[in-house]
Structure 1
């Protein structure tokens, strides 16, 4: 028999706030944290993004060297520490449980890789040996590995790399392991830091990031008629997941998970199947969904296709279901976006407040969704979370109020 799985700890590290309470306050403010990024060569073009400011690894892990650890690994470690603290746990409390650590990150640390390459190019190949640690520190596997090391107990580790769905898939895979009785305790989520020179260049070239830095706080406009493209963000969110039998109270229940590819390269239309599978996994009817935390990057084409995918599943009832996208506030943190959405959704179910869709001002007739640029007080019982990634990946998670 499948077991019920609950979230007992939430650890967000985001531009809207670090820690559960700060994040919940911040994500419910109708404010964009997207700003111009000026630290790179201006000749490469304008860059914008939502950064995690005032982040200090030493505040949480004073023994760690921030110059050695990749920023996405720093985020994941602190997010795991915050999730454990939120659950009232210390590493010693999970010894003997063989904890499961599942994380999702879509790209390696290009800033660290780029610096290493530039050092060799400037000083010669004799300096390549000094860059050997980059192979370990910049890897996406080190995100989970550092958490497992911090737990200081035998653990099972799994790293997901499914583009922007990576983090939500990590949560879904951990959920499945606990539901099937193959794990008693898990830390799961996603971490991402794409706001470095080479990823920003690539996303700009692919028109997945704006070609201007004027009025940066207004550039990401999910589902708005005047939207153009998405904006990158950074951050992490980790969760403590446990079966119903654990003594800790539930903040929310994870009841379903699904994933699916896009059919015939039709961007984001695979969300219909991912949601259908997740709801079937949760043994819930489509009519029972009361809130949708949408992918909603603010990209003209992707937002329209996500809306169509939702319409195919929910039909005429879609305009009755409250929908939010948090990307206008904090951008798209690639593989970390899904877990950050899940953190927001779990807290929405817990407190009865849905986050605003920042910068949604002019409704698009092609995206007839029940959106609001202000937070809404609505007590929902069942919610779904969408994630879509390049190469046609799609994932969905069902959360229920505890």
Structure 2
């Protein structure tokens, strides 16, 4: 019989609030944290809005050496890991380090530092022949994505399995799913799992501009992200990270740990169809949902809340609405669905983990976050998307999903731990 996996620590850094408590306060208030890009001059670009995090490395406890060595995404991951460890109350020094691991997700890894280094060696893009003498001594770290989970592993001296999962926008779900499987199979007892991405750079903005995936609503940044709304016109790029302490259930209970949620089911699928396109019937996402529910041993009617991918693109919103109807049947019409991307934007590979944090906190607090900026519902998206205002209700079972370029579709089920009260 496979072992059970529970979450005992959470660390979050997003736009609008650095820390788990400010993150949850932002979501439940229905406030948005999207604004005009300030990291560089966005005026040449079609989409000039993003969800930037007011992240101060020194204030977060990182040393000057750590800040110089680590890319911004790695800094986010390490700080979130430290917060998750502190919340868990787990003494990592007392653990068997060979039975402790790290699973980190990221879509674009060290994009921030790589672009900075290119500008440095090319005279801000002027020179075809680059000057390698202007290169940072840490350039090799920026080119090797596996350095990111290694940095997290060093913070807790984890010597077990350490890996980077890069499946585009489902990376943050898939990295946690990978960690759960390692615990279930008995390879480890404790995992630090989550994801980090800091993609607000000119090259990333330009790439999404080229395919018109991001919103050009530059005159109204706070209301640019509008999942499931008839007037939506693309997602809003963001940065952020979330990390979790995951433990085998008996391990957590033995030490009397506070358990936020049990991760009871996970599945991922690929549509093998198109790099960016989605079929309208939602079949592959529905299949991932079906398998995740089966692994969790829950019925579709047991789902109390769906944390949607809800990117704010027409093809995605309609695709996943169809997937919910296909997998949950009539119960889909009775289930609250919301997208926190309406408030914290889309941080690519990190957002899946950030949404897992929102799910665990929804179970913990009995509150469903809203879909901000939803004023004019799309007739083709006809479910209960919890418009604009958070909703208090008992939440025992949550379904969270992700959809990514390449055709990736992932689903995860989180449940209230046994004996916990709403």
- Equivalent residue for 2:278, pick from 264, 267, 280: 267
Residue 357 and residue 126 in structure 1: after superposition, are their counterparts in 2 closer, same or farther (change >3 A)?
A: closer
Q: Give 1:75's aligned residue.
A: 76
Q: Give 1:341's aligned residue.
A: 355
Q: 2:226, 2:373 within 8 Å by CA — same for their partners in 1?
A: yes
- Equivalent residue for 2:405, pick from 375, 390, 399: 390
Q: 1:119, 1:127 within 8 Å by CA — same for their partners in 2?
A: no
SS at match of 1:65: helix
Query: Is residue 146 of structure 1 aligned with residue 182 of structure 2?
Result: no
Query: Is residue 101 of structure 1 aligned with residue 102 of structure 2?
Result: yes
For residues 166-194 of structure 1, the C-alpha deviation after alignment (integer angstroms, 9 at most, x for no partner) is 11100001011111211100000010101
Q: Give 2:383's aligned residue.
A: 369
> In structure 2, what is the Cα distance between the partners aligned to 1:69 and 1:58?
16
Q: Give 2:67's aligned residue.
A: 66
For residues 259-302 of structure 1, the C-alpha deviation after alignment (integer angstroms, 9 at most, x for no partner) is 01126446172211111111111111112111100000111111
Q: Give 1:166's aligned residue.
A: 171
Query: Is residue 210 of structure 1 aligned with residue 215 of structure 2?
Result: yes
Q: 2:102, 2:158 within 8 Å by CA — same for their partners in 1?
A: no
Q: Which runs of 5+ in 1 are unaligned?
A: none
Q: 1:106, 1:140 within 8 Å by CA — same for their partners in 2?
A: no
Mapping of residues 246-265 of structure 1, within 5 Å = 246=251, 247=255, 248-262=257-271, 264-265=273-274
- Equivalent residue for 1:305, pick from 307, 319, 337: 319
SS at match of 2:375: coil
Query: Is residue 52 of structure 1 aligned with residue 53 of structure 2?
Result: yes
For residues 91-112 of structure 1, the C-alpha deviation after alignment (integer angstroms, 9 at most, x for no partner) is 4243545311000000132332
For residues 316-364 of structure 1, the C-alpha deviation after alignment (integer angstroms, 9 at most, x for no partner) is 2211001111011010111111111110010101110110111111122
SS at match of 1:66: helix
Residue 374 and residue 120 in structure 1: after superposition, are their counterparts in 2 closer, same or farther (change >3 A)?
A: same
1:211 to partner: Cα distance: 2.5
> In structure 1, what is the Cα distance between the partners aligned to 2:215 and 2:147?
30
> In structure 2, what is the Cα distance between the partners aligned to 1:396 and 1:229?
22
Q: Give 1:327's aligned residue.
A: 341
What's the RMSD between the two structures over aligned residues?
1.9
Q: 2:10, 2:83 within 8 Å by CA — same for their partners in 1?
A: yes
SS at match of 1:43: coil
Q: 2:100, 2:159 within 8 Å by CA — same for their partners in 1?
A: yes
TM-score by length of 1: 0.95
> In structure 2, what is the Cα distance between the partners aligned to 1:401 and 1:171?
17
1:14 to partner: Cα distance: 1.1
For residues 212-244 of structure 1, the C-alpha deviation after alignment (integer angstroms, 9 at most, x for no partner) is 411011111010111111111110000000011
Tell me how many residue pairs correspond in the alignment.
Answer: 402
Q: Give 2:206's aligned residue.
A: 201
